[in-house]
Amino acid sequence: MTDIIIPNLGNEISEAEITEWLVETGDDVEQGDVVLLISTTKTSLEIEAPTSGKISQINSNEGDLVQVGEVVCTIE
């Protein structure tokens, strides 16, 4: 089981917004696939799957503010 967490994006950035989920629970993903887009105060970022597997859980909705380090999705 692998967690997708909001990465540390520099000292000043503590939160990010989930802009768009590109996967749903149950989808198969390959390592390196972009699974979600987030935006910070400065920029937009693509978050990739760190491993191949099935999306088992999505913890936040589009538009939610999430903290750096927060688990937003799990791959099994």
Partner 1 sequence: MKTMPKNIDIDPNKIFAKDFLKSTELPIHQYQKSIDDELKIHGKENLKEVLRHMYIVREFENMLNSFKTTGSYKNIDYTYNGPAHLSIGQEAAAVGAAFALKPEDKIFGSHRSHGEMIAKGLSAIKNLSRDKIKSIMQDYNGGKLISYVHKNLNDKEFDDAEMFLLSGVLAEIFMRELGFNKGMGGSMHAFFTPFGTFPNNAIVGGSSGIAVGAALHAHLNQEESICVANLGDGSTGCGLVWESMNFSSMGQYKNLWPEPYNKNPPMLFCFMNNFYAMGGQTLGETMSWDRLSRIATGVNSEQMHAETINGSDPLSVADAIIRKRKLLIEGNGPILLDIECYRYSGHSTTDTNAYRSRDEIKHWKFFDPIQQYSEKMIEAGIINKNDLNNMSEKVQNQIEYLTSKVVDRELTPSIDIEKNPTIIGDFTFNKKVISVSKITSDLLKNEGEVNQIKSLQKKSRFGKSEEGSLLSGMRAITLRDSLAEAIIYHLSRDKSLIAYGEECRDWGGAFGVYRGFSDIIPINRLFNSPISEAAIVSTAIGYAISGGRAIIELMYSDFIGRAGDEIFNQLAKWQAMSAGELNLPIVLRASIGSKYGAQHSQDWTSLLTHIPGLSIVYPATPYDAKGLMASSLCSNDPTVFFESQRLYDKVEIFTENGVPKNYYKVPFGKAVKRRSGKDITILTIGASLYAALDASMELINHNIDAEIIDARSLVPFDYEMLLNSVKLTGRLLIVSEAVERGSFANTIATNVSKFAFKNLRASPMIIGSPNWIAPGADMEKTYSPQSEDILDLVFRDFFPEKRINKRGLRKDWDFLDLAKKGL
Contact status: 40 vs partner 1 (CB under 8 A): yes
Q: Read off the amino acid at residue 58.
A: I
In whole angstroms, how close is the CB of 58 to partner 1 at the nearest point? 16
Task: Assess 31 for contact with partner 1 (CB under 8 A).
Answer: no
DSSP 3-state assignment of 63? coil
Reported as type and span, the H/E element at residue 8 is: none
Which residues are within 8 A (CB) of 25 and not within 5 positions of it... i.e. 6 or more apart? Answer: 55, 56, 57, 58
Q: Residue 46 CB, nearest distance to partner 1 (Å)?
A: 7
42 binds partner 1 (CB under 8 A): yes
Q: Tell me how many residues contact partner 1 (CB under 8 A).
A: 20
